[in-house]
Amino acid sequence: MATSFSITSEAVNFLLKQEPPSLEVRKKATEHVIDGVGLMLAGSRTEAVKKLVDFVAGKKSAGVSTLVGFSQKTHASEAALVNGTSGHVDDYDDTQLSTSLDRIYGLLTHPTTPVLAAALAVGEMAGCSGAAFLDAFIAGFEVECKLAEAVNPEHYRRGFHSTGTIGAFGACAASSKLLGLDEKELRFALGITSSLSSGIRANFGTMTKPLHAGKAAYNGVIACMLAKSGFTADLNALDGRWGFLEILGHGVDPEKIFGKLGNPHSLINPGASIKMYPCGSLGQPSMDTLLEIVSEEDLKPEHVREIRLRAGPNILEPLRYTQPADELQAKFSLQFGLASILLKRRAGLREYTLDFLNSAEMQQALKKVKTVHDPQITRMGTDKMRSIVEVELNNGQVISRTADTARGTPEKPLRETDLHEKFKECATFVLDEERVDLLFKTIQRIEEISDIRQLTSELMR
C-alpha cells in the first residue's frame, strides 16, 4: 500500500477519521438536501429523464433503490444515474463557490447532485439511518469541493465539466461511508473512479449535460461496490505523473487540500449558492440585478429600447446561446434569462419551456438583449460573477448597475420561506401540495429518521 504523503492519502484519512460535523454544518447540509430532492422530483418530468428511465427499465435490474418521482425501483447504481440526471437536468442545483481569486467562481461543481444521488441510492440499499445518510452526504460534499478547489483551473477552461469529473469523487466518498469501506477498499474505489470520471463542456445545452451529474453519481457508486468486492485499482490514483489530477486535472495546488478537508467545511466557508433561477449559475447575478431594476422602476417591456449585459469571457463563453433553439439551450442563454425577467419579472421552471421560448413576446424581447465583452471587467478577475446591466429606455435614459452576487449566495442567503417556495415549485410537478409540505418537514428532521427508506418511500408517485 502507498505510504508517501499524497492527496489520495489526504482524502482517505479524512473519510476514515471524519470528525462529527458541527450543528451548523448539519443544518446547512440539510438545506442542500431539501433543495436537491426538490430538483430530482422536478427533473423526473423531463424528456431526458424519461428516456433514461426507459433505458434502465429495459435492463431489468434488481429493484432496491428508488427512482425519484417514479413508481419503481432499480439497482443502486442505476438509481444514482437517473436521480443524478434528474437533479441537474433543470440547471437549478446549487453551485460551489471559489475561495481565491485564481479560481473560477461558479464554475467549480454543482456539489449536491452527484453526492445526494449516490447517498440516496446506496443508503436505501444499506438501510442506513438518516443521521448516517447526512454524515455521508457531508463527507462527499466536502471531498468534491476541496478536490475541485485544488485542481488546476485549466481543467475547466480546457473543456472538462467539473460536476461530471470531480463530482464522481464526491459520490464515491459518500458511497464509501455508507458501504463501510476499509482503507485498501477506499483506495481502490478512488482509483476506479479516477478512470471512470468524465464529462465535456461541448455537451452544454443538450440532454448529455445533466447526464454528466448522473454518470458521476453512477461512477462513484459502482466504484465503491466493485472495490468492496475486491476489484483492484492503483492505490494512489489521484497523484503522480499518471494520476487523475495530472492527466485530467492539468495539475493541482496541494495547499488547497492538505490539511483543509473539514477544516473548515466548504458548506460553511465559502459556502455554496442555492439557485433562484433554473439556468447557468453565471447569469444569476445579472438576472437578479435586472429584476431589481424593472421592479423598482416599474418598467414594462414597451418602456425598454435595449438591455446591454457587459461581462467577461468567463460569463459570455459558457452562456453562449444568443438565439436558443430549445429550452435546454435557453438555460445557457443570457438573452433568454434577461428577456424572461423583463417580460414576466420571473424566470422559473414554467418559463424555461419551448412554448414560452417560441412565443411572439419572447422572440421580440430577445431582440432587445445584447451582450458586450468588457475588457475592464475581465481584468477584475473571475472570483466573482461580475457584470454590468444597462437598461436603455425609449426616452434615452440609461439605468446602469453592477452585478456580482445573487439571492441564495452566502452574501444573500435564502430565508426558510424562500427555500420552501422553491421546493414547492419543484416538487408539485409530481406530488400534491399536502405531500410536498410533509416531505419538506421530513427532510428537515432527517437526523431523527431510523431508516432512510422512510424518506425514499415519500419520493415515489
Please give the radius of gyration of the chain, using alpha carbons only, rounded to the nearest integer. Answer: 21
- Does residue 149 share a domain with residue 101? yes
Of 233, 230, 162, nearest to 195 by C-alpha is 233
Asked if residue 327 and residue 263 are part of one domain, the reply reads no
223 and 170 belong to one structural domain: yes
Residues 387 and 446 in one domain: no
The pLDDT > 90 percentage for the chain reads 87
Q: What is the pLDDT of residues 28-48, one digit of tens each?
A: 999 999 999 999 999 999 999
pLDDT of residue 98: 81
Binned at pLDDT 50, 70 and 90, residue 3 comes out as: very low
* Domain count along the chain: 2
| CA end-to-end distance (rounded Å), the chain | 47
Which of 375, 403, 431 is a domain's end point?
Answer: 403
| Same domain? 426 vs 322 | no
Task: Write down the mean pLDDT value for the chain.
Answer: 94
What is the predicted pLDDT for the residue at 205? 81
Residue 454 confidence (pLDDT): 96
Query: Among residues 378, 403, 428, which one ends one of the domains?
Result: 403
CATH number, domain of 64, equals 1.10.4100.10
Does 410 fall in a domain?
no
Is 413 part of a structural domain of the chain? no
| CATH number for the domain that contains residue 319 | 3.30.1330.120
- Domain around 322: 281-403
Distance CA 87, CA 76 (A): 16
Model confidence at 202, in pLDDT bands (50, 70, 90)? very high
pLDDT of residue 382: 77
pLDDT at 11 over 80: yes
The residue out of 377, 403, 429 marking a domain boundary is 403
Half-sphere exposure for 75 (CA within 13 Å, toward CB): 16
Same domain? 446 vs 308: no
Pairing of β 398-403 and β 387-393: antiparallel
**Residue 414 covered by a domain:** no
Give pLDDT tens digits for 40-86: 999 999 999 999 999 988 877 678 999 999 999 999 999 999 999 99
Residues 241 and 378 in one domain: no
**Do 180 and 253 belong to one domain?**
yes
Tens-place pLDDT, residues 431-440:
999 999 999 9
Q: Strand 369-373 vs strand 304-311: parallel, antiparallel, or unpaired? A: parallel
> pLDDT > 70: what percent of the chain?
97
Are 308 and 428 members of one domain? no
Cβ atoms within 10 Å of 329's Cβ, excluding its own: 18
C-alpha cell at position 193: 473512479
Q: Is the pLDDT of residue 234 over 70?
A: yes
Residues 290 and 256 occupy one common structural domain: no
Q: pLDDT-based confidence at 107, cuts 50/70/90?
A: low
Instruction: Quote the longest CA-to-CA distance of the chain.
Output: 73
52, 189: one domain: yes
> Could you tell me if 112 and 214 lie in one domain?
yes
Q: What is the mean pLDDT of residues 100-107?
A: 65
75 in a structural domain: yes
Task: Read off the DSSP letter of residue 160.
Answer: B
For position 63, what pLDDT does the model report? 85
Identify whether 173 is part of a domain: yes
- The reply to whether 341 falls in a domain is yes
What are the pLDDT digits (tens) for 294-350? Answer: 999 999 999 999 999 999 998 999 899 999 999 989 999 999 999 999 999 999 999
pTM beyond 0.85? yes
CB 403 within 8 A of CB 389: yes
Tell me the mean pLDDT in the region 442-451.
98
Q: Is residue 415 part of a domain?
A: no
Inside any domain, residue 411: no
- Three cell numbers, residue 118: 449516490
Question: Which pLDDT tens digit goes with each residue over 379-418?
Answer: 988 778 899 999 999 999 999 999 999 999 888 998 999 9
- Residue 106 pLDDT: 56
Confidence grade of residue 1 (pLDDT, cut at 50, 70, 90): very low
